[in-house]
Amino acid sequence: MTERIFNFSAGPAVLPLAVLEEVQRDLLALPGVGMSIMEISHRSKTFDEIIVNAESNIRQLANVPDNYRVLFLQGGASLQFSMVPMNLLPANGKADYIITGGWSKKAMKEAQKCGQVNVAASTESEKFTRIPTPDELRLDPEAAYVHYTTNNTLYGTQWQQTPTVGNVALVADASSDIFSRPLEVQKHGLIYAGAQKNLAPAGVTLVIIREDLLARSPQGMHTMLDYNTHVKERSLYNTPPVFSIYVMGLVLKWLLAEGGLATMAQRNEAKAALLYAAIDATEFYRPHAVADSRSRMNVTFRLPSEELEKQFVAQATKAGLDGLKGHRSVGGIRASIYNAFPQTGVEALVSFMQEFERTNG
Ligand SMILES: *Cc1c(COP(=O)(O)O)cnc(C)c1O
């Protein structure tokens, strides 16, 4: 058996070992089917059960109310940057965007192609080290929607609370913390997440949309870009990413078996606390995010010099701690510790950090 190392990659990211083992065991022939999941029709009874169960497990895990639809789309979170404004922002309408990092900026750029966009808040002048406070939000009560990024994968900041936006539809890019803690679906109009960080292999994008918003899609929309198509065809208008949805189904079952989102939140909190405590214990490591905006998914920090950061990453890789190089926009180190990342891996990183400081500090 090949040994697995600790994978701190920001995405695609670590998957639960139990899920990978089940995929491996059943890869040549699904029990009772005799064919691989990769070889069966998306119109087959087998796949229909997989996608129906995945949806029902999502509804159970996140308490999704009945007036929300669950969609399995393609094109990644990046296509949602376009689909959201194309469907929800009328030609003469306006939208509020809260800018907390590179992904929010990319989302806003696409919305600007559809209509008027207002920056409701931005922490860019502070290098995205924090989430805006509620009183910093300059929200337009006439906006078609407010868009925010729940967790900023590059900078390592995370909303600690769902923003309050009155009666305006709240749209969340939850790509890098979906199902890492309880999710207040009912406070949102639409939630989307590329799956490859916390849910599945790349290829599928989860969208949860409140039914009343479906009426906003303009006439004459391209079929594949219209949420209504995917609602009507139950995400089976064209060939969906069958394998990714299958693995997502197994991850959802794993989440439920482990105790659901409250348990995940506890574990993620404990893992992150361990790592932040190690960073805070010394001047050698400096956190990027301010304390009350810290992410439990992506922990970002700097060392005294770029040279030391290079050595840190190289030596960590040798020690079986992979994927720790920070995103180029922040530099330094980023440890991504998603749902499937084990506590033992965080403990191994903390030991490595202490030893690295002892020999280089
Ligand atoms: C990774 C990421 C994206 C981009 O996702 P794709 O599926 O590659 O398009 C968007 N938003 C956030 C918050 C991300 O972490």
- Please check the confidence at residue 1 and state whether its pLDDT lies above 60: no
The atom of ligand 1 lying closest to the CA of 80 is 9
Concerning whether 212 is annotated as a catalytic residue, the answer is: no
For ligand 1, atom 10: residue with the closest CA: 77
The atom of ligand 1 lying closest to the CA of 202 is 7
| pLDDT confidence of residue 272 | 98
Choice among 173, 177, 253, 254 that is catalytic: 173
Fold of 18-257: Aspartate Aminotransferase; domain 2 (3.40.640)
Domains 18-257 and 260-360 share a fold: no
Choice among 197, 253, 271, 325 that is catalytic: 197
Task: For 139-166, write each residue's pLDDT tens digit.
Answer: 999 999 999 999 999 999 999 999 999 9
Q: What average pLDDT does the chain have?
A: 97
Rounded to the nearest whole angstrom, what is the distance from the C-alpha of residue 76 to the centroid of ligand 1? 7
Taking the model in full, what pTM does it have? 0.98
Pocket test for ligand 1, best of 83, 155, 176 (most atoms within 8 A of CB): 176
- Please check the confidence at residue 93 and state whether its pLDDT lies above 60: yes
CA dist 63 and 247 (Å) reads 21
For ligand 1, atom 3: residue with the closest CA: 77
- Please check the confidence at residue 169 and state whether its pLDDT lies above 80: yes
How many CB atoms within 10 Å of residue 40?
Answer: 18
| pLDDT confidence of residue 46 | 97
Concerning whether 159 is annotated as a catalytic residue, the answer is: no
Task: For 274-319, write each residue's pLDDT tens digit.
Answer: 999 999 999 999 999 999 999 999 999 999 999 999 999 999 999 9
Fold of 260-360: Aspartate Aminotransferase, domain 1 (3.90.1150)
Cβ–ligand 1 contact at 156 (below 6 Å) = no
Three-class DSSP category at 267: helix
The atom of ligand 1 lying closest to the CA of 11 is 1
Polymer length of the chain: 361
Task: For 225-270, write each residue's pLDDT tens digit.
Answer: 999 999 999 999 999 999 999 999 999 999 999 999 999 999 999 9
2: confidence class by pLDDT, cuts 50, 70, 90: confident
Cβ–ligand 1 contact at 198 (below 6 Å) = no
State mean pLDDT over 83-103: 97
The secondary structure of 20-58, three-state, reads HHHHHHHCCCCCCCCCCHHHCCCCCHHHHHHHHHHHHHH
Concerning whether 48 is annotated as a catalytic residue, the answer is: no
SS3 helix, strand, coil % of the chain, rounded to 5? 40, 15, 40
Question: Where in the chain are the domains?
Answer: 18-257, 260-360
Q: What is the residue whose two structure tokens read 């490591």?
A: 285
| pLDDT confidence of residue 361 | 87
Cβ–ligand 1 contact at 102 (below 6 Å) = no
| pLDDT confidence of residue 114 | 95
